[in-house]
Structure 1
Amino acid sequence: MSLSIIPYPHPTLRVKSSPIRRVDQTLKDLANEMLDLMYAAQGVGLAANQVDLPLRMFVVNASGVKGEGEELILINPELQMPRGNESEQEGCLSLPGIYGQVKRPKAIRLSAYDINGNAIERNVDGFLARVLQHENDHLDGVLFFDRMNDEGRNEFAGALDELETDFRSKQSAGAIPSDADLLARLDDWRERYA
Structure 2
Amino acid sequence: MLTMKDIVRDPDPMLRTKVAEVEYIDEETVSELKEMREYLVNSQDPDTSEKYGLRPGVGLAAPQVGLNKRMLAIYMEGDEGEVLHDYMLINPKVKSHSVTETYLPGGEGCLSVDEEIPGLVHRYQRIRVTATDIHGESVEVKAKGMLAVVLQHELDHLDGIMFYDRIDDELPMEPKNGATPVE
Pairwise same-fold verdict (TM > 0.5): yes
State the identity %.
38
**Residue 113 (structure 2) aligned to one of 80, 95, 103:** 95
CA 51–104 in structure 1, closer or farther in 2 if over 3 Å, else same: same
SS of 1:36's equivalent?
Answer: helix
Contact persistence 2:2–2:36 (CA under 8 A): no
The alignment partner of 1:138 has SS state of helix
Structure with the higher fraction of residues in helix conformation = 1
Give the secondary structure class of the aligned counterpart of 1:62: strand
Structure 2 letter corresponding to 1:60: I
The answer for the alignment partner of 1:63 in structure 2 is 77
Partner residue in 2 for 1:129? 148
Q: 1:115 aligns with which of 119, 130, 134?
A: 134
SS of 1:70 mapped into structure 2: strand
Q: Deviations over 1:99-156 (max 9, x none)?
A: 43111110011111111111012421111111110000000000000111114669xx
Does structure 2 conserve the Cα–Cα contact (< 8 Å) formed by 1:80 and 1:110? yes
| Structure 1 CA distance for aligned equivalents of residues 12 and 27 of structure 2 | 27
Q: In structure 2, what is the Cα distance between the partners aligned to 1:122 and 1:44?
A: 16
| Matching of residue 80 in structure 1 with residue 95 in structure 2 | yes
Structure-to-structure mapping, 1:43-62, within 5 angstroms: 43-62=57-76
Q: Structure 1: which 5+ runs fail to align? A: 155-194
- Tell me the CA shift for residue 70 of structure 1: 2.5
Q: Normalising by structure 1, report the TM-score.
A: 0.72
Q: CA RMSD in A?
A: 2.3
Return structure 1 stretches of 4+ with deviation > 3 angstroms.
Answer: 64-67, 151-154
2:135 partner SS: coil
SS state at 2:14 partner: helix
The residue type paired with residue 169 of structure 2 is D
Secondary structure of the residue aligned to 2:111 is coil
- Report how many residues are paired: 154
- TM-superposed deviation, 1:21: 0.7
- Structure 1 residue 79: Cα displacement: 1.4
Q: What per-residue deviation string (whole Å, max 9, x for no partner) do you get for residues 31-83 of structure 1?
A: 11111223323100000000000110000013289872331100000113221
Aligned residues of 1:56 and 1:75 also touching (Cα < 8 A) = yes
Normalised by the length of structure 2, the TM-score is 0.76
SS in 2 for 1:128: helix
SS in 1 for 2:73: strand
Unaligned runs of 5+ in 2: 44-54, 174-183
